[in-house]
């Protein structure tokens, strides 16, 4: 019979009562009186701790001293119904193995209640707190739910490249990829960097988006999605931007902008509902500790249809609101976070999908409307977050796309392969990008994007 269990199994298997089993875990807390010690163990598999009752007389004094907060231990004992409240089962220890002690005088998580800022400085240890255990379990479940959602719909998971030879999308905010010796960079006669001698024989960067490659695949497999890391060297040190973040980018042939909006709304609702169904304990903890409105907000998103309106209609709402914004509102300007949050949190009190943005503030590949001024873009705006999804119907007309590429001065050498898809068997298609960490901000109620990714990369920070 199996002797080694995880706390997840103990919590979910009441029939284990009376059995003698082994739990390997880390000590969260220890309370001690003369004859008995209570040790709370956590192995990260579930929010709950397992309480271990230790008869002090039966164990070596030195060993018991080392069973302190943070220590890694294996405890074998009998599971019994708990006397105390808060747990169904507890363990009466028969034997204890000390894998690794954690010196109480130097262990940084000796006490509870550290600030999130402090925990960011010890990101190598913050996994061991209730908060980050909850956040990273939810992160796992959301990643899984994303694959499940698309697999249920027969979308194919496409791995877009991380190294890209085109900078059409991210000009100016891309990270270079090179294996040049930085002290001796080859130059051409006119002093320019000679990329033909670089590893790939051309200038390369880390990708800012897998969309363009996703389109190539969608125009053969019909419905695909990517889910991978993307990189942006934008120097915006905000609570919603990372230099390395994960993005989910579905791309669908034969979808117009309305199909695209419908998919985005169904997708977000599926994910939020999945969290409510599968991450209840972790959500309840975050709700109680950080944000009493969290679960209410999640339930509202699942239950209410999103409001849909055009950028121009949103402009009217903002202009007529009489509100003084830091960034003035005028048709043609990009919406700032304060505008997005006014629409979502104050005006509509609901999630919003905005469409038909001015072409000047949107990417070259978006389908042009007949008015000559706007494109079939769509942004999904969420309470607390602002933009969570950006997407569009793509321009499938070769001549219109080429004209726009020329107008924007995008070099053809970067785009010839993309243009070919509009030359051969071009069809209407659409797609969008969901920032995975923006989704996690919403689902966990965390306020800073650095707290929903294990190892945040931001300006001046890549320590862990």
Judged by the rule CB under 6 A, the positions of this chain that interact with ligand ATP are 232, 241-242, 245, 247, 387-390, 433, 435, 437-438
Of 26, 24, 34, nearest to 3 by C-alpha is 24
Of 355, 400, 161, nearest to 257 by C-alpha is 355
Which one, 228 or 435, has the nearer CB to Mn ion?
435
- Which of ligand ATP, Mn ion, none lies near 389, with the C-beta cut-off 5 to 8 A by kind? ligand ATP
Burial (0-12, 13-18, 19+ Cβ within 10 Å), 276: middle
Contacts for 327 with CB less than 8 Å, ≥ 6 apart: 333, 336, 338, 339
Provide, rounded to whole angstroms, the least separation between the CB of residue 401 and ligand ATP. 19
Which one, 133 or 435, has the nearer CB to ligand ATP?
435
**Measured CA distances, 400 to 140, 404, 421, 430 (Å):** 42, 6, 13, 16
Q: Which residue is nearest to Mn ion (CB)?
A: 390
Q: How far is it, in rounded angstroms, from Cα 397 to Cα 419?
A: 10
Provide, rounded to whole angstroms, the least separation between the CB of residue 322 and Mn ion. 27
Which one, 210 or 390, has the nearer CB to Mn ion?
390
Which of the ranges 123-131, 179-187, 291-299, 389-397 carries the binding residues for Mn ion, by CB under 5 A?
A: 389-397
Q: Per-residue DSSP letters for 36-53?
A: EEEEEEE-SSSS--EEEE
Site size toward Mn ion (CB under 5 A) is 1
- Which of Mn ion, ligand ATP, none lies near 173, with the C-beta cut-off 5 to 8 A by kind? none
Which one of residues 390, 391, 431, 435 is an interface residue with Mn ion (CB under 5 A)?
Answer: 390
- Which of ligand ATP, Mn ion, none lies near 438, with the C-beta cut-off 5 to 8 A by kind? ligand ATP
How does DSSP classify residue 411? Answer: -
Of 313, 303, 309, 340, nearest to 438 by C-alpha is 340
- Position 386 contacts Mn ion (CB under 5 A): no
Of 354, 344, 343, nearest to 310 by C-alpha is 354
Which one, 27 or 208, has the nearer CB to ligand ATP?
208
Which of the ranges 23-31, 247-255, 281-289, 386-394 carries the binding residues for Mn ion, by CB under 5 A?
A: 386-394
Residues binding Mn ion (CB under 5 A): 390
């Amino acid at each position: 019979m199996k002797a080694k269990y995880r706390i997840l199994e103990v919590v979910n298997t009441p029939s284990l009562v009376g059995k003698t089993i082994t739990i390997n875990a880390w000590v969260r807390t220890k309370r001690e009186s003369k004859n008995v010690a209570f040790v709370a163990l956590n192995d990260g598999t579930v929010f709950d701790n397992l309480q271990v009752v230790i008869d002090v007389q039966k164990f070596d004094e030195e060993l018991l001293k080392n069973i302190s907060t943070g220590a890694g231990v294996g405890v074998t004992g009998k599971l019994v119904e708990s006397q105390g409240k808060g747990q169904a089962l507890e363990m009466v220890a028969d034997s204890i193995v000390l894998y690794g002690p954690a010196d109480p005088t130097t262990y940084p998580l000796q006490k509870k209640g550290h600030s999130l800022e402090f925990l960011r400085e010890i990101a190598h240890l913050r996994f061991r707190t209730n908060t980050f255990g909850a956040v990273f379990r939810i992160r796992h479940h959301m990643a899984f739910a994303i694959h499940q959602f698309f697999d249920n719909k027969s979308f194919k998971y496409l791995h877009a490249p991380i190294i890209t030879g085109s900078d059409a999308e991210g000009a100016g905010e891309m990270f270079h990829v090179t294996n040049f010796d930085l002290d001796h960079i080859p130059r051409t006669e006119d002093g320019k960097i000679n990329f033909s001698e670089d590893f790939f024989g051309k200038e390369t960067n880390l990708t800012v988006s897998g969309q363009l490659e996703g389109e190539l695949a969608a125009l053969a497999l019909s419905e695909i999605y990517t889910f991978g890391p993307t990189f942006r060297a934008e120097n915006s040190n905000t609570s919603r931007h990372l230099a390395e973040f994960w993005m989910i980018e579905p791309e669908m042939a034969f979808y117009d902008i309305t199909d695209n909006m419908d998919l985005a709304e169904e997708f977000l609702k599926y994910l939020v509902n999945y969290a409510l169904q599968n991450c209840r304990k972790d959500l309840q903890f975050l709700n109680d500790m950080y944000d009493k409105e969290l679960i209410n907000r999640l339930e509202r998103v699942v239950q209410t249809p999103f409001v849909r309106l055009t950028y121009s209609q949103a402009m009217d709402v903002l202009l007529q609101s009489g509100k003084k914004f830091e960034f003035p509102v005028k048709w043609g300007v990009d919406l700032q976070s304060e505008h997005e949050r006014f629409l979502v949190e104050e005006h509509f009190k609901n999630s919003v999908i905005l469409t038909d943005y001015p072409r000047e503030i949107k990417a070259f590949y978006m389908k042009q409307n007949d008015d000559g001024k706007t494109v079939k873009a769509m942004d999904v705006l969420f309470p607390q977050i602002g933009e969570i999804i950006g997407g569009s119907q793509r321009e499938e007309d070769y001549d219109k796309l080429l004209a726009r590429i020329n107008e924007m001065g995008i070099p053809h050498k970067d785009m010839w392969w993309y243009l070919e898809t509009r030359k051969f068997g071009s069809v209407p298609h659409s797609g969008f990008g969901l920032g995975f960490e923006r989704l996690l901000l919403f689902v966990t109620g965390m306020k800073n994007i650095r707290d929903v990714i294990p190892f945040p990369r931001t300006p001046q920070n890549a320590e862990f």
